[in-house]
Amino acid sequence: MSGGEKQRVGIARAIATDPQFIVCDEPVSALDVSVQAAIVNLLADLRDRLDVAYLLISHDISVVAHLADRIAVMYRGRIVEVGRRDEVMAAPHHPYTEALLSAVPTIARTNHSRIRLPLEARRSAGFAGCVFAGRCPRRIGPICDTTEPLVRTPRPGHTIACHLPLGAMAPA
């Protein structure tokens, strides 16, 4: 079977028991782009028809944005930004969210403006700062290495963990 056919079988097996909740862990990461779109549309269709909820885990924020009502952006096991889909997809962004969004090709923003993150540097024991400090292109300074980021709240229910003031986070 092709990758798309195997994924359809997996989805059929998951819904056979009439679940209310399904965990979709990287459901399209191994598929061609054209097949990805078909599987994402299938998942959206099943969600609406069967009234099932998904917990979707993906490195591709465009896939998440297509299916999710709420998005939590995680880095090294920490939630760095969380909110309703439209809030997380609109500025201001956590610097990691900004990097993930820059990897999504659009007509206005092509791969040429993609933010390429450096490799993670080894951390010292007892590191107490921001989990993203070792790769952050917007790093402010030593405070990022020593102090847990402040929780910014651009809108009720939308939070961003970062020392940057909201006004300094990237525009859309």
Interface with ligand SF4 (CB under 6 A): 95, 130, 132-133, 136, 138-140, 144, 149, 162-164
For residues 31 and 87, which CB has a smaller minimum distance to ligand SF4 in the complex? Answer: 87
Dig out the tokens for 122 from the structure: 């080894």
For residues 43 and 133, which CB has a smaller minimum distance to ligand SF4 in the complex? Answer: 133
| Runs of H (alpha helix) within the chain | 3-15, 33-50, 61-67, 85-89, 95-102, 143-146
- Shortest distance in whole angstroms from residue 97 CB to ligand SF4: 10
| Furthest-apart CA atoms within the chain: distance in Å | 53
Query: What interhelical angle do 3-15 and 33-50 show, nearest 10?
Result: 10
3-state SS assignment for residue 135: coil
Whether residue 96 contacts residue 120, with contact meaning beta carbons closer than 8 Å, is answered with no
Identity at 126, one-letter amino acid code:
G
- Shortest distance in whole angstroms from residue 133 CB to ligand SF4: 4
Whether residue 40 contacts residue 3, with contact meaning beta carbons closer than 8 Å, is answered with no
For residues 54 and 132, which CB has a smaller minimum distance to ligand SF4 in the complex? Answer: 132
Given the structure tokens 């790769």, which residue do they identify? 135
- Shortest distance in whole angstroms from residue 110 CB to ligand SF4: 25
- Shortest distance in whole angstroms from residue 90 CB to ligand SF4: 18
For residues 40 and 130, which CB has a smaller minimum distance to ligand SF4 in the complex? Answer: 130
- Shortest distance in whole angstroms from residue 162 CB to ligand SF4: 3
For residues 4 and 134, which CB has a smaller minimum distance to ligand SF4 in the complex? Answer: 134
Identity at 94, one-letter amino acid code:
H
